[in-house]
Amino acid sequence: ALFSHLVLCICLSHLSTLLVVLSRDRASALPLPKGSMGWPFFGETLHWLLQGSRFHSSRRERYGNVFKTHLLGRPVVRVTGAENIRKILLGEHTLVSTQWPQSTQIILGSHTLLSSTGDLHRQRRKVTFSRAALESYLPRIQKVVSWELRGWCREPGSIAVYSSAKTLTFRIAARILLGLRLEEKQFKDLAKTFEQLVENLFSLPLNIPFSGLRKGIKARDMLHKFMEKAIQEKLQRNHPEDHSDALDFLMNSAKEHGKEFTMQELKESAIELIFAAFFTTASASTSLILLLLKHPSVIEKIRQELMSHDCHCTADISLEKLSHLRYLDCVIKEVLRVLPPVSGGYRTALQTFELDGYQIPKGWSVMYSIRDTHETAAVYQSPPSSFDPERFGAGRPEAAGRFHYIPFGGGARSCIGKELAQAILKLLAIELVSTARWELATPGYPSMQTVPIVHPVDDGLQLYFHPLQPSQGHEA
């Protein structure tokens, strides 16, 4: 009864604000988009969480490419289609501004790239994921990928691929981006806590006992406590020139510009760096392994390309060498088209504007759809449902467009870790096809869940990994 009373009080406290925000802009003659706003305060959040991608596709089929709904305590306009998304992404700072759900902002904090704007945002992006920084990360990423994959091949039983991919990408984030050297138990405990943080990033903004937001805040506080100790050790080391992780790049750049980060800024930046390279890259890695398994001819073509460039493993790989592997680049692009890790991005309307004949009221959230746009783009020559890396080859119209293919978003707010993620995926693909073969450990393929990111239901992608013998490297 006490819990119900608390929820009721919170809902009533938000009601007056909510009624104003939910209303249309009467200064505009245009109608609101079609759609349903669901229950008061809670909206259609429960339906969204339970139905996954079917929630959006069913409403798109019913209402069109622009429809209204109510998610995570806010009115939302869901947008699909290249032309509509072009207007959103190119309207940054004029029509819209970046807007993550309130729960995400609370958990990640206010000193992150997600929250920064203008020159500060551009400077931090440029430093942390510059070409020079990425080049320095590659050898260490390669060692982690090779070490993890050898472990998969030594495992006598099957591997739960999504869990294993999360371990891989978290290890990359912890070692390469933060420079952490952890004992295995410490590593696993930290990964588990971070997973709890990410799982509650998209929750109702209710900071009450047992709520998702409360769980996310608890995980964040535990991570901040650990990070503060690790950062203090980093600041006190005797030979800073021996280290070149992403946090170092960020701290050194700040000093060069006459700025010292506070401990709170460093802790939030450290968490964001892991966030940029962890779950979404684990999702994409899982999708890569799944789609290669389903299409052995693609594996053979990758091997042929590696042989033609005398690139049989990831040792001594460079960004320059990766740039010459054109077919591999097409494969990675197609994996991200078919199974983009996240379904869309959030913005907030800075002013009321028109989209597809409807008004988008000032203050409403705008959620542009990556997955639906990929699935419905008319530009594709082969069916969008097919896995066809060649669609991104030279001379194909699919390779020329800009807003029908947006796995990393676009505009000034495209994904901060996209170059890093693509490099990790390419290194993983090279290591996989050069050193291993893999097969299903179950009668069939698992279904994929799409909320909050794409992953196999109940980690159902169970595979056997086997080391390739030297003579097997050319076999599919």
pLDDT at 171 over 90: yes
Q: Binding site: what residues are annotated? A: 415
- DSSP class of residue 43 equals B
Tell me the pLDDT tens digit for each residue of 223-270.
999 999 988 888 887 555 555 788 888 787 777 777 888 899 889 988
Residue 263 in 3-state DSSP? helix
pLDDT, mean of residues 261-289 = 90
Supply the pLDDT for residue 388. 95
- Report helix angle 161-172 to 279-294, nearest 10: 130
pLDDT, mean of residues 406-431 = 88
Supply the pLDDT for residue 364. 95
Beta-bridge partner residues of 346: 367
Supply the pLDDT for residue 70. 92
> 27-31, 182-186, 450-454: which has the minimum mean pLDDT?
450-454
Tell me the pLDDT tens digit for each residue of 62-78.
999 999 999 888 899 99
**Residue 72, CB-side half-sphere exposure with 13 Å CA sphere:** 23
Arithmetic mean of pLDDT over the chain: 86
Q: Binding site for heme: what residues are annotated? A: 415
- Report helix angle 246-256 to 118-128, nearest 10: 130
As a whole number of Å, the end-to-end CA separation of the chain is: 62
| pTM reported for the whole predicted model | 0.88
Question: 118: pLDDT confidence band, cut at 50, 70 and 90?
Answer: low
Supply the pLDDT for residue 91. 94
Domains and CATH numbers, the chain: 2-101+344-371 (3.30.43.20), 120-336+376-408+421-472 (1.10.630.10)
> ∠300-475-465 over CA atoms, to 5°?
95
